[in-house]
Amino acid sequence: MLSLLALAVPLLMGVIALVVPWRRWIGWGSAFSSAGVLGLGVALCVTTSSHGPVSALHGMLRADALSSFMVVVIGTVSLLATLQTPRVMSQEIAAGTTNPRLASYYVVLMQAFITCMLTAVLAANLGVLWVAIEATTIATTFLVSHHRTKKAIEASWKYVILCSVGIALAFLGTVLVYFAALHAGVGTPRTASLNWTSLMAIAPHLNHGVMRLAITLLVLGYGTKVGLAPTHSWLADAHSQAPAPVSALMSGVLLTVAFYALLRFKAIADAALGPAFPRALFIIVGLLSLVVAAVLLIAQRDYKRMLAYSSVEHMGLLALGAAAGSSLAIAAVLLHMLGHGLTKSTLFISSGEIAHAEGTTEIAKVTALLARRPVLGAIFGCALLALLGFPPFSLFISEFTMARAEVNVGLWWVVASSLVCLSVIFVAMTNHARHLLLGGESSTAVPLSARSVVVPLVTALVACAFVGVSAWPLLTLLHAAAHVVAP
């Protein structure tokens, strides 16, 4: 029931935005619906912790601890992103880069996007999960090309083509899993289904050759959507050309929803093949992503692309944590998802403000932000520190715990290599940040940033720090969620 409500709220808001012409209150309405999603997510967490997994809609939707946690993550980041909608749309309409019709399309597509993500995490059937993730690609294409410039259209073209190809591979992997289930020799053929729970039950009987092929295709396919190398080339273009709240939502939570799909499939593969083969796959893509991100961050010239490549890095870290596979590792991965979502969205939204104020996204042309716009610069700087893994922010705890879990399993060489890459990334990003933030002299007449920017972003950073210091109230939830895929 709750899960159904969680889907219905953004859907309803989307329909309203479609029917009613653009007004400012529609923008606030979308923020309100995201707040509703967050509240329902918290309620779902409470319900699943006391009653266990709940189903709805004749078993099509299923919420266990992992799904409820993902709903909370989606709700949080979408709240941050949609709170910006009224201000950003008014700015763009005033500047003439958009018109009310496009603004209402923007709201409709954002709501559709959020609904699809919620469907993906609440789906009981892995095929429905696939359909929902494909639907997010379609919903976000026009969001990426919202500004209708030549670069934006090129970015959205690349995004659609590459992600559709990846998703098609993931579909083939899903079909192979279904094929293995049909011939698993348990029960009669034709009673197999793509439900995750039934697949987990018969996992030990699935054919090894077919499952190996299937998990490889799935890692490559969904890995395209996550932004893991070698299929990461769409990320920088799409996330840098999209409007700032859209980039926040995509980088903050869409990548993690695709990774959630990988976690579900990895659980099946671990039960069918044993941990060795899936672990090797995840280590390969994880280390490759870290190396690629490190190399490409050094000579970066655009700060939005810099943030996009940092997303590639963090997805690589998530892959390495999932490779470890223990309950502690997965709990750290989930905490990292939440922390990354909060900080990355903060960074993208503030970078959107910076781009609007300075008129350019090149690092070389923006300088002395702390002097000229102290509040905005401070937010950007603190969020960047959080992203780089400084205490007290939660990313420090999650990265440390992931490293500890990897060492526990014997992957100390992976930890060493990832630390090398992380140090390179640290140096590269602090270098760019130094150029952006420092220098110049402070003046007294500084323009003020809008309250609708400052308040949510500061709240997000404070929440991230709070979670970093004391993981309560999330501790039990994280362990319950991790137990779902890593018993």
Partner 1 sequence: MSTSFYVGALELTTGAVLVCAVMTLWRRQVRTIVTMLRFQGVALAAVAGVLAWHEHDVGLAITAAPVLAVKGALVPWLLHRVIRLDPRSRETAPLINVPASLVSSAFLIVVSYVVCSKLTALAPSAASRLVPIGVATVLVGYFMLVTRRRSVSQIVGLLLVDNGIALVTFLLTAGVPLIVELGATLDVLLVVVVLQVLVVNAGARHGSFDLDEMRELHD
Task: Say how many CA atoms lie within 13 Å of 209 toward its Cβ.
Answer: 1
Residues 6+ apart with CB under 8 A from 280: none
Amino acid at 383: A
Q: Looking at 123-207, list the stretches that DSSP marks H as alpha helix, in order from N- to C-terminal side.
A: 126-144, 150-182, 196-202
Give the residue with the Cβ less far from partner 1, 43 or 213.
213
Give the residue with the Cβ less far from partner 1, 164 or 326.
164
Q: For residue 18, what are the CA distances in angstroms to 101, 110, 138, 292, 358? A: 10, 11, 17, 41, 33
Give the residue with the Cβ less far from partner 1, 24 or 148.
148
Supply the minimum distance, in Å, between the C-beta of residue 180 and partner 1.
8
Supply the minimum distance, in Å, between the C-beta of residue 169 and partner 1.
8
Give the residue with the Cβ less far from partner 1, 41 or 227.
227
The residues of the shown chain that bind partner 1, judged by CB under 8 A, are 125, 127-128, 130-131, 134-135, 137-138, 141-142, 145, 148, 150-151, 153-158, 160-161, 164-165, 168, 171-172, 174-176, 178-180, 182-183, 193-194, 207, 209-210, 213, 236-237, 240-241, 296, 299-300, 305
Supply the minimum distance, in Å, between the C-beta of residue 213 and partner 1.
7
Supply the minimum distance, in Å, between the C-beta of residue 40 and partner 1.
24
Give the residue with the Cβ less far from partner 1, 174 or 289.
174
Supply the minimum distance, in Å, between the C-beta of residue 437 and partner 1.
23
Give the residue with the Cβ less far from partner 1, 151 or 434.
151
Torsion angle, CA of 263/268/269/273, rounded to 10 degrees? Answer: 150
- Of the candidates 429, 234, 451, 225, the one whose C-alpha atom is nearest the C-alpha of residue 343 is 429
* Both structure tokens of 69: 């946690």
- Of the candidates 323, 290, 306, 302, the one whose C-alpha atom is nearest the C-alpha of residue 406 is 323
Q: Do 43 and 95 form a contact (C-beta atoms < 8 A)?
A: no
Supply the minimum distance, in Å, between the C-beta of residue 34 and partner 1.
24
Supply the minimum distance, in Å, between the C-beta of residue 165 and partner 1.
6
Supply the minimum distance, in Å, between the C-beta of residue 319 and partner 1.
22
- Of the candidates 166, 194, 165, the one whose C-alpha atom is nearest the C-alpha of residue 179 is 194
Give the residue with the Cβ less far from partner 1, 293 or 386.
293
Give the residue with the Cβ less far from partner 1, 180 or 307.
180
CA dist 153 and 64 (Å) reads 39
Residues 6+ apart with CB under 8 A from 121: 67, 70, 71, 74, 257, 260
Q: Do 342 and 314 form a contact (C-beta atoms < 8 A)?
A: no
Supply the minimum distance, in Å, between the C-beta of residue 266 and partner 1.
21
Give the residue with the Cβ less far from partner 1, 22 or 309.
309
DSSP, collapsed to helix, strand or coil, labels residue 123 as strand
CA dist 35 and 64 (Å) reads 21
Residues 6+ apart with CB under 8 A from 330: 263, 321, 322, 481, 482, 485, 486
Q: What is the radius of gyration, based on Cα positions, of the chain? A: 21
Give the residue with the Cβ less far from partner 1, 54 or 165.
165
Q: Do 114 and 38 form a contact (C-beta atoms < 8 A)?
A: no
Supply the minimum distance, in Å, between the C-beta of residue 194 and partner 1.
6
E strands, 48-156, are: 54-56, 61-63
Supply the minimum distance, in Å, between the C-beta of residue 33 and partner 1.
23
Give the residue with the Cβ less far from partner 1, 237 or 406.
237
H or E element in which residue 306 lies? helix 303-324
